[in-house]
Amino acid sequence: MNLAALFSGGKDSTYSIYKARQMGHEVSCLVTIMPHSPESHLLHHPNIRHTSLQAESMGIPQIVSTADSENTGDELEVLRALLTEAKAKYGIRGIVHGGILSEFQKGRFESLANDLGLQVVAPLWKMDQRQYMHDLLNSGFEFVISSVSCDGLDESWLGKKITNDDLEKLESLSEKYKFNLSFEGGEAETFVTNCPLFKKLIEISESTRLWDGCRGTIEILQAGIMDQC
């Protein structure tokens, strides 16, 4: 089936494209919304403007818009317009998203898709979080943590490229502090720098760390695409 991917540049939306292709679907475009506020309950915020590099590396065209309101309803109307454009331009018949546990996101995406006559593919839905995180690394996904906002994740995690050793530490911390290992509850967000979908890797050459004592982000200032070694 010809799909549009709801794409944020994080591990979940990128891995959902990877899994959708394994299922035999074609992802013909990426749909990305740049939200007005980092407090959005529906959309990913940190470093989303750099998703253009990931789209270029995957060779998938991207449709982008901004949502100027913090209201979820307004964000959905922007998404409706983008999906309508994707139907007309790319002939999509469905959407793929990287939701794992959020009934809030799932319900709103499914309602909107139903209104537009589109099917929904959610390959990560209800996956075991530990298995999912291990599958990511074992499949060759490389990603950095771009924000943290929960007990147990301090400033030292910002900008860290996650390895198997880091995953073991995250498993222990998630058990101790009771956060979602997959970060589905917004405990952290990520930015993918390389994966099997990429023809070229993303190199972050300059960034700045913002930390308020409880939560923080890495703002990517300069990044580019490089040939794989």
Using alpha carbons, select from 41, 51, 50, 40 the residue that is nearest to residue 6.
51
Residue-wise pLDDT tens for the chain (229 aa)? 999 999 999 999 999 999 999 999 999 999 999 876 555 444 555 688 899 999 999 999 999 998 765 556 688 899 999 999 999 999 999 999 999 998 988 999 999 999 999 999 999 999 999 999 999 999 999 999 999 999 999 999 999 999 999 999 999 999 999 999 999 888 999 999 999 999 999 999 999 999 998 999 999 999 999 987 6
Q: Can you give the pTM of this predicted structure?
A: 0.93
Q: How far apart are the first and last CA of the chain?
A: 33
Q: Are 35 and 75 in contact (CB under 8 A)?
A: yes
> Both 71 and 153 in a single domain?
no
Using alpha carbons, select from 10, 64, 11, 5 the residue that is nearest to residue 29.
5
> Both 135 and 94 in a single domain?
no
Look at residue 41 in the predicted model and tell me its pLDDT: 46
> Both 75 and 175 in a single domain?
no
Tell me the C-alpha to C-alpha distance, in Å, between residue 56 and each of 59, 198, 202.
5, 9, 10
Q: What is the CATH number of the domain that holds 165?
A: 3.90.1490.10
Which residues does 70 contact at the CB level (< 8 Å), separation at least 6? 35, 36, 37, 39, 40
> Both 106 and 12 in a single domain?
yes
**Which pairs from 104-113 meet CB under 8 Å and 24+ separation?**
104/41, 104/42, 105/42, 108/42, 108/72, 108/76, 109/6, 112/76, 112/79, 112/80, 112/83, 113/83
Domain termination site, one of 74, 90, 121: 121
By residue range, what is the domain housing residue 12?
Answer: 2-121
Domain termination site, one of 96, 121, 146: 121
> Both 153 and 103 in a single domain?
no
The SS3 of residue 33 is strand
Strand duo 94-96 + 2-6: pairing: parallel
Look at residue 70 in the predicted model and tell me its pLDDT: 59
Q: 162: which DSSP letter?
A: P
Look at residue 34 in the predicted model and tell me its pLDDT: 83
